[in-house]
């Protein structure tokens, strides 16, 4: 039995309309005893039979029959509400811009962009020479998707000589990619086809090699980072680095200077980074740190220096640098020391400056550190917003592209001129059915947790919302893996707000909204802080008049589902759970 949260004229009323219980019996998975031994321990799993060993192809009839029964039960629940479902569908559809297009970006003498065509499901990627107005289609995802029930474009890259395109695709949902290579001059594909690949692709400086990740057979983890020479067989590829520890995740990236390949392996708490010169991929990788040093590390490069974002000396990270021929840990020099109030989260190096993404007391911001002169923060339109670095592919560019949105501001793209310190709005999300930002209000408030910790809450509602506990509230939280909830914009959420709901994010411990320590204070033996924070946030919203007991709908997706399981036994607070 669950509540249908609704509006009530009675202050703090606990009497709300309930959704009727379905008469049909809910499907019940049959318990089938199963035992298996791993590392000397016996695993008991009565529902192991629900795992189809043929995944991603599912052909096991009992499994398919059970999934069908669950789907039929769900359909019977929706059937009485078909009118509302159809209305919501039309609202959602009306907010989708079928002719959406990106802001162009430049790289290697070309301008790139993507766009949608009306009625088409996937993007079309095009480029044009800067001295020529003719656009060339480089990827039409709609054509690539033809004949496949599932399609996803992973990554793509253009060779430095602008002659080749490499891209990765997943056509069965297995998350194991196939990499294809195309000659952009002849429009013909090379015979090279790399299988069991991760999503990322990167050409070498000479345009004759492709760097990619090879996945382990029958497992969804990267086994090695390889270099494939165009025109050869995949089994002849050179292995740059391999990772045998199954608890570690291996990946690669290119520095902003495009002079070094960054090889990264790590788990949730530590990172090991090595580098290889892009000018000679035959060299052995050089280590910047080791996993035994037990800290997290991100690396970029420019102007003869490696720049490190590391929590080796402070939980909220510091920024350090070292000459690219003196990379030993003992030779790192602190550029910006760690701080209890400033949490460094990202950096990118350009020719004339460094850009730093940070959070100060839970408020996102971006700072510019020029090669000469004082650093400064970018002045943003709103205090509480989600701001991050956008596509900035050119090391020599003088402006910084940033992504920006808030609970009431649709996702936008700005270009920031570093030297004039001006923001240029390049794009704001178009909502065809209409949206008036002035009709909505957002707040950041703090709730007192039972241990005295201040827990942030970000709220949005339509103006006119009454803080007399008469209207429903939707409360969302995640609180895991150091992944913070950003104050983002949602078109589907508008349907709730238009119907009188308030929507709130509970920034509970386990995420990183208030710094890296915020994450540490919500994991392992401190995991109960996450659960308690959520309940304390709900009680604070009730006490402040935003909602009444029993009229709160709660949701936690993915790892947030664990949180929902822990707090759902608070029936006086929660009306429904997703």
Q: How far is the C-alpha of 151 from the C-alpha of 93, rounded, in Å?
A: 21
The residue from 430, 445, 473 where one domain ends is: 430
Main-chain phi, psi angles of 55, to 5 degrees:
-50, 140
> Does pLDDT of 370 surpass 60?
yes
Task: Label residue 17 by pLDDT band (50, 70, 90).
Answer: low
Q: Give the residue among 469, 473, 466 at the shortest CA–CA distance from 497.
A: 473
Q: How far is the C-alpha of 271 from the C-alpha of 422, rounded, in Å?
A: 36
CA distances in angstroms from 11 to 6, 16, 466, 490, 554, listed in the order given: 13, 12, 10, 29, 21
Residue 118: count of CB within 10 angstroms of its CB? 7
Compare 14 and 302 and report the one with higher pLDDT. Answer: 302
Q: Are residues 445 and 421 in the same domain?
A: no
Q: Give the residue among 88, 68, 87 at the shortest CA–CA distance from 76.
A: 68
Q: Give the model's pLDDT for residue 51.
A: 86
- Does residue 358 belong to any structural domain of this protein? yes
> What percent of the residues of the chain are helix, what percent strand, and what percent coil, each to the nearest 5?
15, 40, 45
In DSSP notation, 543-555 reads HTTS--TT-EEEE
Q: What's 450's domain CATH number?
A: 3.40.50.1820
- Does residue 542 belong to any structural domain of this protein? yes
Give pLDDT tens digits for 247-263: 999 999 999 999 999 99
Q: Are residues 489 and 535 in the same domain?
A: yes
Q: Give the model's pLDDT for residue 15.
A: 52
> Does pLDDT of 218 surpass 90?
no
For the segment 437-452, the average pLDDT, to the nearest whole number, is 98
Q: Counting Cβ atoms within 10 Å, is residue 54 exposed (0-12), middle (13-18) or buried (19+)?
A: exposed
Task: Label residue 59 by pLDDT band (50, 70, 90).
Answer: confident
- Does residue 482 belong to any structural domain of this protein? yes
Give pLDDT tens digits for 336-362: 999 999 999 999 999 999 999 999 999
Q: Are residues 485 and 548 in the same domain?
A: yes
Q: Are residues 505 and 535 in the same domain?
A: yes
Q: How far is the C-alpha of 369 from the C-alpha of 354, rounded, in Å?
A: 5
Task: Label residue 23 by pLDDT band (50, 70, 90).
Answer: confident
> Does pLDDT of 142 surpass 50?
yes
Q: Are residues 504 and 560 in the same domain?
A: yes
Give pLDDT tens digits for 289-325: 999 999 999 999 999 999 999 999 999 999 999 999 9
Residue 251: count of CB within 10 angstroms of its CB? 16
Give pLDDT tens digits for 372-429: 989 999 999 999 999 999 999 999 999 999 999 999 999 999 999 999 999 999 999 9
Main-chain phi, psi angles of 309, to 5 degrees:
-110, 110
- Does residue 22 belong to any structural domain of this protein? no
The residue from 430, 450, 484 where one domain ends is: 430
Task: Label residue 18 by pLDDT band (50, 70, 90).
Answer: low
Q: Are residues 484 and 568 in the same domain?
A: yes
Range of the domain at 377: 341-430
Q: Are residues 563 and 445 in the same domain?
A: yes
Compare 78 and 369 and report the one with higher pLDDT. Answer: 369
Size of the chain in residues: 578
The structure tokens 């913070």 sit at 484
> Does pLDDT of 486 surpass 70?
yes
Q: How far is the C-alpha of 542 from the C-alpha of 547, rounded, in Å?
A: 5
Q: Are residues 446 and 563 in the same domain?
A: yes
Q: Please say whether the beta carbons of 14 and 549 come within 8 A.
A: yes
Q: How far is the C-alpha of 419 from the C-alpha of 454, rounded, in Å?
A: 38
Q: Are residues 385 and 498 in the same domain?
A: no
Sheet strand arrangement including 110-115: 105-107, 110-115, 124-129, 136-140
Q: Give the residue among 443, 458, 467, 463 at the shortest CA–CA distance from 547.
A: 467
Range 6-10, long-range pairs (CB < 8 A, 24+ positions):
6/472, 6/551, 7/470, 7/471, 7/472, 7/500, 8/469, 8/470, 8/471, 8/548, 8/551, 9/470, 10/470
Total structural domains within the chain: 3
The residue from 365, 398, 430 where one domain ends is: 430
Q: Are residues 71 and 43 in the same domain?
A: yes
- Does residue 348 belong to any structural domain of this protein? yes
- Does residue 59 belong to any structural domain of this protein? yes
- Does residue 19 belong to any structural domain of this protein? no
Q: Are residues 564 and 506 in the same domain?
A: yes
Q: Please say whether the beta carbons of 403 and 396 come within 8 A.
A: no
- Does residue 442 belong to any structural domain of this protein? yes
Q: Give the model's pLDDT for residue 11.
A: 39
Q: Are residues 361 and 463 in the same domain?
A: no
CA distances in angstroms from 450 to 286, 537, 540, listed in the order given: 48, 10, 11
């Amino acid at each position: 039995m669950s509540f249908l949260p609704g509006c009530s004229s009675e202050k703090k009323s606990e009497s709300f309309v309930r959704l009727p219980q379905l008469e049909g019996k809910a499907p019940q998975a049959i318990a089938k005893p199963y035992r298996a031994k791993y590392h000397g321990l016996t695993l008991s799993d009565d529902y192991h039979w629900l795992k189809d060993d043929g995944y991603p192809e599912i052909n096991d009839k009992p499994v398919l029959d059970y999934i069908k029964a669950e789907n039929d039960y769900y359909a019977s629940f929706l059937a009485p509400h078909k009118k509302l479902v159809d209305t919501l569908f039309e609202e959602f559809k009306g907010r989708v811009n079928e002719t959406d297009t990106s802001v162009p970006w430049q790289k290697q003498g070309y301008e790139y962009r993507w766009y949608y065509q009306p009625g088409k499901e996937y993007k079309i990627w095009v480029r044009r020479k800067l001295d020529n107005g003719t656009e060339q289609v480089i990827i039409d995802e709609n054509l690539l998707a033809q004949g496949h029930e599932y399609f996803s474009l992973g990554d793509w890259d253009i060779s430095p000589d602008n002659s080749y395109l490499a891209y990765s695709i997943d056509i069965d949902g297995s998350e194991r990619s196939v990499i294809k290579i195309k000659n952009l001059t002849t429009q013909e594909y090379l015979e090279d086809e790399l299988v069991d690949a991760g999503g990322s692709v990167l050409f070498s400086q000479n345009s004759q090699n492709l760097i990619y990740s090879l996945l382990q057979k029958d497992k969804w983890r990267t086994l090695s980072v390889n270099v494939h020479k165009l025109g050869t067989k995949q089994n002849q590829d050179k292995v740059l680095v391999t990772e045998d520890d199954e608890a570690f995740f291996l990946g690669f990236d290119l520095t902003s200077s495009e002079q070094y390949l960054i090889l990264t392996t790590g788990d949730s708490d530590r990172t090991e980074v090595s580098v290889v010169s892009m000018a000679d991929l035959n060299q052995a990788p050089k280590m910047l740190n080791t996993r035994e040093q037990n800290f997290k590390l991100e690396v970029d490069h420019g102007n003869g220096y490696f720049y490190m974002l590391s929590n080796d000396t402070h939980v909220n990270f510091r920024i350090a640098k070292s000459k690219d021929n003196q990379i030993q840990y003992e030779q790192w020099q602190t550029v910006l020391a760690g701080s209890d109030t400033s949490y460094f989260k990202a950096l990118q190096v350009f020719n004339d400056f460094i850009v730093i993404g940070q959070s100060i007391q839970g408020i996102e911001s971006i700072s510019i550190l020029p090669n000469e002169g004082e650093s400064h923060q970018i002045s943003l339109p709103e205090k509480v917003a989600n701001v991050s670095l956008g596509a900035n592919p050119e090391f020599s560019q003088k402006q910084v592209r940033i992504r920006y949105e808030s609970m009431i501001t649709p996702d936008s793209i700005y270009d920031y001129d570093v030297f004039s310190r001006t923001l240029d709005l390049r794009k704001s999300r178009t909502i065809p059915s209409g949206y008036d930002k002035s009709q909505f209000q957002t707040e950041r408030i703090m709730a007192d947790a039972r241990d005295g910790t201040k827990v942030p809450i970000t709220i949005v509602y339509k103006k006119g919302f009454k803080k007399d506990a008469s209207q429903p509230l939707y409360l969302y939280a995640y609180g895991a893996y150091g992944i913070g909830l950003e104050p983002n914009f949602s078109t589907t959420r508008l349907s709730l707000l238009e119907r009188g709901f308030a929507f709130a994010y509970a920034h509970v411990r386990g995420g990183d909204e208030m710094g890296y320590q915020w994450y540490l204070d919500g994991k392992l033996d401190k995991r109960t802080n996450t659960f308690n924070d959520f309940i304390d946030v709900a009680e604070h919203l009730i006490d402040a008049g935003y909602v009444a007991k029993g009229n709160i709908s709660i949701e936690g997706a993915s790892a947030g589902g664990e949180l929902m399981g822990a707090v759902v036994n608070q029936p006086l607070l929660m009306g429904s759970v997703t």
